Structure 1
């Protein structure tokens, strides 16, 4: 059985800049990466993570508008968006609050997120360097809002955001 982290059981923590809250779902033993879930209910600056890579995926809510180093971006649900932790980022929630899955990693780790829909009888195997955040559906063991940590598998009709962390 894979390790399961239920987001509702993880206490929210304030962002480093105080502009929102996040729930740290999983952190590497060597602190080379972390997977967290952020609630963005109002506009404002994002915290910086100098020397890190960032990958953000809106998992609940409408769109997130970002200005990254002066360039406008609209981040739509389930569409991963990568940017530098060194970037100056200003956010807006023009259509209402969003929840975002965030991966922050050092340069030696390449994070990837793929959103998949699984059928009722599907089983998605996860390797050691993968985790899957259940967006909708899931199983009794790992329903919506759960992070399934590899090695293991995700079962049941669901929509999942698969996080892969490649070293090298």
Structure 2
């Protein structure tokens, strides 16, 4: 499945602190297993909580922000995937102006998720469901074409390919529990 930030419709957050673009959703029996989105975070304020779910949050534009409450302090930094409990009620404080974040929200009772950043070079072998999302540079996948910033793909099997032109690709892997 191809994903594109340019084709996803922006939806305002309930608190007015930004907008999000849903890139892909996987459901089983009418229940969300995982969701990918790209969020524009434009001001300080409450961060959305997703009780019972887990999150991976990765800054793709801007300096990032700090997510905190009385017992937790998480630093969201550029191209550093940040996993945390989606049910946490957190306040967001921008570090140096607006930022944009790639988000993975998933049901930990159904899947585990892991995210990393790929740089220039050959794609690593991955045999399970995974996502590749281009932040910078170019991604070429044999038989699937090329992808530029804001584009990506959800794949079920391993594929050969290469990251080039100063690439930064978010790779998310999903494994059944």
Q: Same fold (TM over 0.5)?
A: yes
Displacement after TM superposition at 1:167 (Å): 1.5
2:149 is aligned with 1:149: no
Residue deviations 1:66-101, cap 9 Å, x none?
114542222211111122121111101121111111
CA RMSD of aligned residues (A): 1.9
Distance 1:146 1:16 in 2: 26
Return the match for 1:14 from 12, 15, 18.
12
Gapped runs of 5+ residues in structure 2?
A: 140-144
Match of 1:24 in 2: 22
1:127–1:150: 8 Å Cα contact kept in structure 2? Answer: no
Distance 2:69 2:84 in 1: 8
Distance 1:117 1:32 in 2: 28
Secondary structure at 2:119's aligned position in 1? strand
Secondary structure at 2:147's aligned position in 1? coil
Match of 1:50 in 2: 51
Residue deviations 1:11-38, cap 9 Å, x none?
1112244432111111003211101111
Secondary structure at 1:27's aligned position in 2? strand
Relative to total residues, which structure has the larger strand share, 1 or 2?
Answer: 2
Secondary structure at 1:28's aligned position in 2? strand
Question: How many pairs were matched up?
Answer: 164
1:44–1:90: 8 Å Cα contact kept in structure 2? Answer: yes
Match of 2:134 in 1: 134
**Compared with structure 1, are the counterparts of its residues 25 and 94 closer, same or farther at alpha carbon in structure 2 (3 Å cutoff)?**
same
**Compared with structure 1, are the counterparts of its residues 138 and 93 closer, same or farther at alpha carbon in structure 2 (3 Å cutoff)?**
same
**Compared with structure 1, are the counterparts of its residues 153 and 56 closer, same or farther at alpha carbon in structure 2 (3 Å cutoff)?**
farther
1:43-122 map, 5 Å:
43-68=44-69, 70-108=71-109, 109-119=111-121, 122=122
**Compared with structure 1, are the counterparts of its residues 23 and 78 closer, same or farther at alpha carbon in structure 2 (3 Å cutoff)?**
same
**What TM-score comes out, normalization by structure 2 length?**
0.83
2:13–2:19: 8 Å Cα contact kept in structure 1? Answer: yes
